[in-house]
Amino acid sequence: MYYTHLGRSGLKVSRLCLGTMNFGPKTLEADSFAIMDRALELGLNFWDTADVYGWKKGEGITERIIGRYFAQGGGRREKVVLATKVYGDMGEWPNTSRLSALHIRRACEASLERLQTDYLDLYQMHHVWREAPWEEIWQALELLVQQGKVIYTGSSNFAGWHIAKANEAARRRHFLGLISEQSLYNLNARTVERDLLPACEDYGLGVIPWSPLGGGLLGGILSDVEAGSRRAGITLSETDRPKIEKWEALCATLGEKPADVALAWLLHQKAVTAPIIGPRTVDQLNGSLRALDIQLSSETLAQLDIIFPGHKPSPEGYAW
């Protein structure tokens, strides 16, 4: 396993992040335990979850599965850089969601209880909330840091200007602020290159891409269909098909699986710390490791930019 710093922090994390969203809804608890065991065997120390995962309001199903895994002991919790999120709707009353100071504090306590841990390594805002001032948000998060319940803070699904606004507010309070941003980023979804990635680079945030395979689009969908299988829920539009045909043909010339090349491409982007992989089985987890050792040449990267055009940073992308 390879490790790197999470953004400008001194925290060392694996270059792949274990996403746990499938734990509960799609992966049984016993199988989830097996995946987490294997992740530790491989040295994959960066794990991501959220209070809303499990998708039954207020129950925190996925966090509870992880908590029961940690409760087995054996140094499991201490080996993991654990990240969870706050924002989603966890109840029926007005202050059971979003980013009020009240909800942040209550949500943190609830996540700690479900995860059976005393602290969160990375506490992420799952979405920006424009109705709460940054003074309120940082006041709540600073208190959690002072209490030892949170070590680092991060964001998810922010825009570049949100990163700037948040970290400038933190700077005024002499607080570390955001060290990471978790965002949609893959070969077929590159809009973050306009403003978000430049902001993250400038402020020293590690980028944690979610949906690195584009919801399965980049995972070898045509090859699967030709082999007689069909991926549920994936629709290939007439616009996408020519790109995917060229994409899978290029991967074939490289002698690599499309999913592995898609992850490897993200690992070649300088702002990226660790793409989130969401294995449903141990075999899927094992298969993801190949991406760590794929080196893409400048010629291959240029070919990928032709198939999946990127975005120049704004305003250079549209003005001098």
SS3 letters for 167-190? HHHHHHCCCCCEEEEEEECECCEC
pLDDT tier, 320 (very low <50, low <70, confident <90, very high otherwise):
confident
Mean per-residue pLDDT, 288-309: 98
Three-state secondary structure call for residue 5? strand
pLDDT (0 to 100) of residue 96: 96
Residue 250 lies in a domain: no
Mean per-residue pLDDT, 121-127: 98
Say how many C-beta atoms besides its own lie within 10 A of residue 216's C-beta: 15
pLDDT tier, 230 (very low <50, low <70, confident <90, very high otherwise):
low
d(CA 312, CA 190) in angstroms, rounded, equals 10
pLDDT (0 to 100) of residue 141: 98
> What's 62's DSSP letter?
H
Per-residue pLDDT at 119 exceeds 90: yes
By C-alpha distance, which of 202, 216, 224, 190 is closest to 301?
Answer: 190
Residue 305 lies in a domain: no
**Would you please indicate which residues are annotated as catalytic (active-site) residues?**
53
Give the structural domain span for 35: 3-216+260-295
Residues of the chain above pLDDT 90, percent = 92
200: domain CATH number is: 3.20.20.100
Residues in the chain: 320
Q: Which residue has the higher pLDDT, 29 or 320?
A: 29
Three-state secondary structure call for residue 156? strand
Q: CA triplet 57, 63, 66: central angle to 5 degrees? A: 155
Per-residue pLDDT at 149 exceeds 60: yes
Residue 243 lies in a domain: no
**Residue 64 neighbours by CB under 8 Å, 6+ apart:** 54, 114
By C-alpha distance, which of 320, 300, 315, 310 is closest to 192?
Answer: 310
β-sheet bridge partners, residue 120? 150
Three-state secondary structure call for residue 153? strand
Per-residue pLDDT at 195 exceeds 80: yes
Task: Determine the distance from the C-alpha atom of residue 112 to the mean position of all C-alpha atoms in its chain, rounded to a whole number.
Answer: 20
Residue 248 lies in a domain: no
Residue 239 lies in a domain: no
pLDDT (0 to 100) of residue 240: 87
pTM, entire model: 0.95
Residue 316 lies in a domain: no
pLDDT (0 to 100) of residue 114: 98
Per-residue pLDDT at 232 exceeds 80: no
Provide the domain count of the chain: 1
Residue 233 lies in a domain: no
What the block records as the tokens of 305 is 């930019």
pLDDT tier, 174 (very low <50, low <70, confident <90, very high otherwise):
very high
Per-residue pLDDT at 34 exceeds 60: yes
pLDDT (0 to 100) of residue 234: 73
Residue 37 lies in a domain: yes
Q: CA triplet 65, 205, 260: central angle to 5 degrees? A: 60
> What's 298's DSSP letter?
H
